[in-house]
Amino acid sequence: MSRQEIVGVGAGAAHLGVDRVVDLGPLHPSAHGAYRLRLTLDGTTITAAEPLVGHLHRGAEKLFEVRDYRQVLTLANRHDWLAAFCNEVVVAQAVERMTGMDVPARALWLRTLLCELNRLLAHLIFLTPLTRSAEGESTSATSAAQAGTQAIQGAMEAASGGRIHFMASRIGGLREDMPAGWTGQTATALSTVDESLTAIMSTVDSAGFVAAYQGIGVLSTADAMALGVTGPAGRASGLDFDLRRDSPTLAYPELAVTPVLDTAGDALARVRCLAGEVEQSLRLARQCLTSLPPGPVNLRLPKAVKAPEGSVYTWGEAPLGVSGVHLSSRGEKTPWRLKLRTPSFNNIQALAALLPGTPVAALPAVLGSFAVIVGDVDK
């Protein structure tokens, strides 16, 4: 039986007969939050992996409990800053369901449109670094992906006034209607993303990319289901589950959503699912643009919004998977308990299942294909 030796990342080559335990991280904030990976190595192959979280604990759920429902929405978009608008909507829907609010049709369609724009923004941000060369240098595909990201971010900023934390949702709808000329700006932004996707796919489909990403970091369908992995990571492992089709809210019942699926479960499948969902969100966003009804975008509310005593659970398909809210109320203007079910919290544990057997040299490709937001984990 081999013994273990715990070393730092910069230590020398492995000694024969020694399992080396390497602590990778806490990772730099540019990696969407600080977390550690404890890797057990046999030579240059990973034999076990343990994600260690808690470095970025935000305490969001406790902060919700001392704020009224209007104030909660200003924090609801911060634990996953790349799914900000989607998370606002799920929290707003929980309060609206408990109070029996009937949100105006225009607000429902605009929420759906903004959710799809938010999905585009998140996926493009994760796909952009993957278009760089093997040496880490930007390519024409990288520039195109960045242009698409900036175009969508510009449309979201014009709609809400914010570039990261949008705070556009309100209990009963949206803060305000879209400014004049916004639909034209958004249509132009979608065309820019179309061009970006062509450049991204030229990289993803290239022989070099396929050779680097195929067959590594495999997550089986059984493991994905057992661990509760959702979103593109789950669908890349063959889980045919998408709340926009399976439990639709907002305007999704009026839209045809077919989940983007793969069965390989490897790094290449995850990247291709992300790219496929960009194409899907482009189509859905254009359908929303052409279907926007006239009318108000919010309801007139009392000075203090109080949810009746009881509890409710709402969920939605965020960019990285299922985002759920369990709201418990005692009839006051603040929630008694507001529990979050965040996709990254479930998804990150899958690294323990998919990393064993991966060569250390392939680790950047595997981690690059597996999108998580650590604030969403350390909620």
For the domain spanning 60-377, the CATH number is 1.10.645.10
pLDDT at 15: 46
pLDDT higher than threshold 80 for residue 138: yes
pLDDT digits (tens, 9 = 90+) for 243-258: 999 999 999 999 999 9
- Report the 3 state secondary structure along 136-167: CCCCHHHHHHHHHHHHHHHHHHHHHCCCCCCC
Domain positions in the chain are 3-52, 60-377
- 279: part of which helix (H) or strand (E)? helix 267-291
Band (28; pLDDT cuts 50, 70, 90)? low
Q: Per-residue pLDDT averaged across 353-379, rounded?
A: 93
23: left (phi over 0), alpha (psi -120 to 50) or beta: beta
Query: What value, to the nearest 5°, has the Cα angle with vertex 345 and ends 343 and 349?
Result: 110
Instruction: Read off the pTM.
Output: 0.92
Strands (E), the chain: 3-7, 18-24, 36-42, 45-52, 169-170, 173-174, 310-318, 321-329, 337-341
